[in-house]
A = this chain, B = another copy of it.
Amino acid sequence: MMDLDLSAGVGELTAWLVDLESVSGDEEPLADSIESVLHQLPHLTVRRDGNAIVARTEFGRAQRVALAGHIDTVPIVGNVPSAVRDGVLFGCGSSDMKAGVAVQLKLAATVTEPVMDVTYVFYDCEEVESDRNGLGRLSRTMPDRLAADFAILLEPTGGVVEGGCQGTMKARIGVRGKRAHSARSWLGRNAIHDASEVLDVLRAYQPRQPDVDGLAYREGLNAVGIAGGVAGNVIPDECVVTVNFRFAPDMSAEQAANHVRNVFGRWEVTVVDVAGGARPGLRRPAAESFVTAMGGTPRAKLGWTDVARFDSLGIPAVNYGPGDPTQAHTRGEYVRIAEIEDCAVKMAAWLKG
């Protein structure tokens, strides 16, 4: 395999990245290549942590933007090496998100005098458990080097700016009863029957649709699990409803937990996990100019994404990158080369001011 050559076009760069396999946990060869080419760029200072790399300009500009992308992919399913047909590049990770990484690398190589400082973040293990996530690790090991006024994750968004993300919280609502033999049910209290009151609260719940930084979010509070029962001849003394609360980024994780505790105040509430959302920050100058430069109407991101890791550092963030997000994780994953080029051209123009 040839060395990584940043003078190639972004389509060729993407193909090169796809061909160097980097399934989560096996990113080292790709991280080595990326670190090596970045070290050759005199306008960047480069730091590495495991298989994550942070490269920054240090011009002392008034604003700093972070451009971030994960370098790992889901497991390969016969879709490496890459193939090009009619301007479409096929291969594992082509859309999610080696096309975005190619854009990052191209910008790093060519935008040598940006109007704002730029932090390029390449990280590992995004496609696996949250506690292995490379961006999460960087936020703990080198938060100062991630600091920025605004962050862009180059995940595939089909060319639309997706702002921030909603938070997510899981909690268990425990309903207690009293056991009895089912032939004498009146001696007990049926916790499953009583759980219908929890479900009634869920059915009657009116979720908010707040506007945050100009984007319309849409919350939801839903049962995602229910379990109860001891044996076929026993009136059950416990039923647990697991609920998932998706909350807009104007609410903190703590506020969300308190809200759920209030909604189900009559029962035992156990918060299982909670991850705060991310404000889109689209009214900050860097973000406003980015949205204008990219064109189109930004939309709110409803699912939780890694932009929330930037938010936990106080950095508003958006998703924007080449590729169709619905192609991610499929055997036939692809990206249109023209889309990668369009993204690279627009972002370079924006960074050059």
Contact = CB atoms under 8 A, between A and B. Distances in A.
B226 A239 contact: yes
Interface in A132-178: 166, 168, 170
A223 to B, nearest CB: 4
Interface residues of A, number: 43
A182 B220 contact: yes
Contacts of A183: 166, 168, 220, 246, 302-304
Q: How many copies does the complex hold?
A: 2
A222 B304 contact: no
A308 to B, nearest CB: 13
Contacts of A223: 190, 192-193, 228-229, 236
Interface string A211-253: 0000000101011111111111111100101101010000000
A85 interface: no
B302 A220 contact: no
A61 interface: no
Contact of A196 (B166, B196, B227, B303): B196
Nearest to A191: B223
Nearest to A220: B185
Contacts of A229: 223-227, 242
A83 interface: no
A234 B224 contact: yes
Given A185-B246, A190-B202, 15 more contacts: A168-B182, A181-B303, A182-B220, A182-B246, A183-B302, A184-B218, A185-B220, A190-B222, A190-B223, A192-B225, A193-B199, A193-B202, A223-B236, A224-B233, A227-B227
